[in-house]
């Protein structure tokens, strides 16, 4: 590959990008800021049919959107927040004052490992290839890079509507909306315009919003973005920073041909900065990273650290007939503050939600058969604590940042071992502790072996306490 690991690349002097707080570009070819001749204001266009990314998303787990920020240390018994050992503070990174104010507003003080490794390079304009699981803070890493660059290099002339300066491509609607929410939180003290384009929502309404204000940062799913490109409502020839998030998931979902068309619509890789992220790397993902980046620095966060450091993992050996009573009793326990229950199929989730509601529990349902506007409302209600339990397929397994989830319960073990890591990553986030409980029965216990192989260690399997089966 054409990238270097952090160990192989000479680290910049000091943590801050520059003495004056402005990033020092290390790129051999400056990114062009140009206007295509003969283009008028965006307008017209048809209302396309459903995009490819509007397929049933039970087969498509979102990517990693872990919230806008890094580590906010928890207070000790005396009410004092200890400083994480060896951690770098955001204030040491030479960030713009607008970004620092937003980070402080959000309560974050120190960089996560992925941020500490990536930002010294990405803030200087290096291309980046990053491997990081959910809950690591990579979303904030690429958003801070984008914000710093756009604020440091304002365009002197007016732009056309739909002319994006930074583009983030993500595989699912939920992840796009989460990334945009994080971007707005970090850009709250700026005048940068942030827009989203996703399938399953009204095309004309998204178009009106896009034409009403400048588009500095565009976050989109591949299919809907191609709809807007085809109708001439979006222009990507002035993109300065391209972020490709969850490349492995887009490969699994068959979106790579669409992403190739999108990348071809942006300036060549010598004239843009590209940040490429994937939770896992196969030979195919490596080839994509090589094609779309230039002299990239590679940073990696091992997945098992995410899975083990802050999450207590339990596996209960039960029969299929015992599963529901066990689940209901666990959720009724006082120590369960909020929980996400995962099952593999939509019909399983629907029945679980109905039966748990019949037991008097407040339950939300998130799956591919739930309408998009209802899914957004369900996530908002769960985040706000309006119900205790969220029953979900892997549509929520990656990328949805929800504070304070105390428990994750795998009612059925996932078919793909990587999804186990992504599921339990919904708890134990940002330094907090969490509990993962998996049910293994006669029908799915065989899935434990590949999960343990991925983790690199054995999971302790035990019989559940008798009181939880009564």
What pLDDT shows up at residue 431? 64
- Distances from the Cα of 40 to the Cα of 46, 83, 239, 283, 464, angstroms: 17, 53, 18, 42, 66
Q: Are 198 and 231 in contact (CB under 8 A)?
A: no
Q: What is the pTM of this model?
A: 0.67
- Please tell me the distance from the alpha carbon of residue 428 to that of residue 436, in angstroms, as a whole number: 9
What pLDDT shows up at residue 242? 98
What pLDDT shows up at residue 281? 86
The answer on pLDDT for 5 being more than 90 is no
Q: Are 342 and 409 in contact (CB under 8 A)?
A: yes
The answer on pLDDT for 87 being more than 70 is yes
- Please tell me the distance from the alpha carbon of residue 164 to that of residue 215, in angstroms, as a whole number: 5
What pLDDT shows up at residue 217? 98
State the average pLDDT over residues 375-383. Answer: 87
| Average pLDDT over all residues of the chain | 81
What pLDDT shows up at residue 3? 53
CATH number of the 304-468 domain? 3.40.50.300
Q: Are 121 and 9 in contact (CB under 8 A)?
A: yes
What pLDDT shows up at residue 137? 86
User: What number of residues does the chain have?
Assistant: 470
| Phi, psi (rounded to 5 degrees) for 378 | -60, -45
- Please tell me the distance from the alpha carbon of residue 369 to that of residue 55, in angstroms, as a whole number: 10
Which residues, at least 6 apart from 78, have a Cβ–Cβ distance to it below 8 Å? none
- 125/429: higher pLDDT: 125
The pLDDT confidence band at residue 194, using thresholds 50, 70 and 90, is very high
CA nearest to 259, candidates 248, 96, 270: 248
Domain 4-76+84-301 homologous superfamily, CATH: P-loop containing nucleotide triphosphate hydrolases (3.40.50.300)
For 222-272, what is each residue's pLDDT tens digit? 999 999 999 999 999 999 999 999 998 898 788 999 999 999 999 999 999
Which of 12-26, 275-289, 413-427 is least confident?
12-26
β-bridge partners, 363: 389
Greatest mean pLDDT among 13-22, 54-63, 115-124, 420-429 lies in: 115-124
What are the extents of the domains in the chain?
4-76+84-301, 304-468
Same fold, 4-76+84-301 and 304-468: yes
What pLDDT shows up at residue 396? 57
């Amino acid at each position: 590959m054409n990238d270097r690991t952090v160990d192989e690349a000479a680290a910049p002097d000091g943590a801050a990008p520059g003495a004056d707080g402005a990033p020092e570009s290390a790129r051999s070819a400056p990114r062009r800021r140009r206007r295509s001749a003969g283009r008028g204001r965006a307008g017209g266009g048809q209302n396309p049919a459903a995009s490819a990314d509007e397929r049933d998303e039970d087969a498509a787990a979102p990517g990693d959107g872990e919230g806008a920020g890094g580590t906010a240390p928890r207070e000790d018994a005396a009410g004092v927040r200890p400083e994480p050992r060896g951690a770098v503070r955001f204030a040491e990174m030479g960030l713009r004052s607008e970004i620092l104010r937003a980070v402080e507003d959000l309560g974050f003080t120190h960089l996560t490992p992925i941020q500490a490794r990536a930002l010294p390079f990405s803030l200087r304009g290096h291309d980046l290839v990053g491997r990081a699981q959910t809950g690591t803070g990579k979303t904030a890493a690429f958003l801070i890079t984008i914000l710093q660059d756009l604020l440091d290099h304002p365009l002197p002339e007016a732009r056309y509507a739909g002319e994006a300066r930074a583009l983030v491509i993500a595989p699912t609607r939920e992840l796009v909306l989460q990334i945009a929410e994080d971007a707005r939180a970090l850009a709250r003290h700026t005048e940068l315009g942030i827009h989203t384009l996703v399938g399953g929502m009204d095309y004309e309404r998204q178009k009106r919003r896009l034409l009403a204000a400048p588009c500095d940062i565009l976050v989109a799913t591949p299919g809907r973005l191609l709809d807007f490109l085809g109708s001439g409502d979006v222009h990507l020839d002035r993109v300065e920073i391209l972020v490709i998030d969850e490349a492995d998931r887009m490969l699994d979902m068959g979106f790579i041909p669409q992403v190739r068309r999108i990348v071809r619509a942006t300036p060549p890789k010598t004239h843009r900065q590209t940040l490429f992220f994937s939770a896992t790397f196969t030979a195919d993902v490596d080839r994509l990273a090589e094609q779309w980046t230039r002299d990239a620095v590679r940073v990696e966060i091992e997945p098992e650290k995410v899975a083990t450091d802050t999450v207590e993992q339990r596996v209960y050996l039960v029969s299929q007939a015992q599963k529901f009573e066990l689940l209901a009793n666990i959720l009724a326990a006082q120590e369960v503050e909020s929980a996400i229950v995962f099952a593999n199929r939509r019909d399983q989730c629907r029945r679980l939600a109905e039966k748990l509601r019949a037991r008097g529990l407040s339950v939300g349902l998130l799956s591919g058969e739930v309408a998009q506007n209802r899914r957004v409302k369900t996530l908002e209600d769960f985040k706000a604590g309006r119900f205790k339990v969220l029953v979900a397929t892997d549509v929520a397994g990656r990328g949805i940042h929800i504070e304070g989830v105390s428990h994750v319960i795998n009612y059925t073990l996932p078919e793909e071992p990587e999804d186990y890591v992504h599921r339990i990553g919904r708890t134990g986030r940002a330094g907090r502790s969490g509990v993962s409980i998996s049910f293994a029965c006669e029908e799915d216990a065989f899935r434990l072996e590949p999960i343990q192989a991925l983790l690199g260690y054995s999971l302790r399997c035990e019989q559940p306490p008798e009181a939880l089966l009564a």
